[in-house]
Amino acid sequence: MEDLEVTKEKSLFIIEDDKSFRERLTTSFQRKDFIVTAAASKKEALEVLSKFSFNYAIVDLRLGDGSGLDVIKVIKEQNPSCRTVMLTSYGNIATAVSSVKLGADDYVPKPANIDDIEKSLMSYSSPLPPPPENPMSADRIRWEHIQRVFTQCNRNVSETARRLKMHRRTLQRILNKHAPKE
């Protein structure tokens, strides 16, 4: 977190607790001429928001110390015109509705690429961003979800199968295959 005056037109605040993804977002948007400030937690985000205002924000729904919904609420109270995108790996209709009610302009499920996030962040004319140029196939999305749950279960096949409500042997076959093509 840097001390800088964040009043420029393309000031962007990124709140993401996944360090590598936060750094990738920061670098990518800096290359697109955004002035980026990043925070890793709800507490850190609220500290930054007590000092600065932003024109754009990318907020992760689940932060290590709380909900990104609380951060969106503060961002919108501070600057109602701030264009805000909610990112989440745990997408469902209830959280999408909550984030939009609190002021998020869009709701983007992970995995999402930088270009899709930028289109969502910058699309003012329509409520929905244009469709992605190369969307992931349903097989690829399923495979990525399985891999994420497998990693979260510390690579325990039995626990992953239980959480995904699938047979352990079926899961093992899926895990032994290579990732589907985009």
Beta bridge partners of 38: 14
Instruction: Read off the pLDDT of each residue in 153-170 and give the average, rounded to a whole number.
Output: 93
Q: How does pLDDT run across 4-25, given as a tens digit for each residue?
A: 444 447 889 999 888 888 898 8
- pLDDT of 152 > 80? The answer is yes
Residue range(s) of every CATH 1.10.10.60 domain in the chain = 138-176
**pLDDT for position 115:** 81
Residue range(s) of every CATH 3.40.50.2300 domain in the chain = 11-122
- pLDDT of 85 > 70? The answer is yes
Q: How does pLDDT run across 66-75, given as a tens digit for each residue?
A: 888 888 888 8
Backbone angles phi, psi at 60, to 5 degrees: -80, 140
Domain 138-176 sits in CATH at 1.10.10.60
Amino acid at 100: V
Backbone angles phi, psi at 13, to 5 degrees: -115, 120
Q: How does pLDDT run across 166-179, given as a tens digit for each residue?
A: 999 999 988 888 77
**pLDDT for position 7:** 43
Q: How many CB atoms lie within 10 A of CB 36?
A: 22
Domain 11-122 sits in CATH at 3.40.50.2300
Query: How, if at all, do strands 66-67 and 62-63 pair?
Result: antiparallel
Instruction: Read off the pLDDT of each residue in 46-65 and give the average, rounded to a whole number.
Output: 87
Instruction: Read off the pLDDT of each residue in 91-99 and give the average, rounded to a whole number.
Output: 69
CA–CA distance, 174 with 168 (Å, rounded to integer):
10
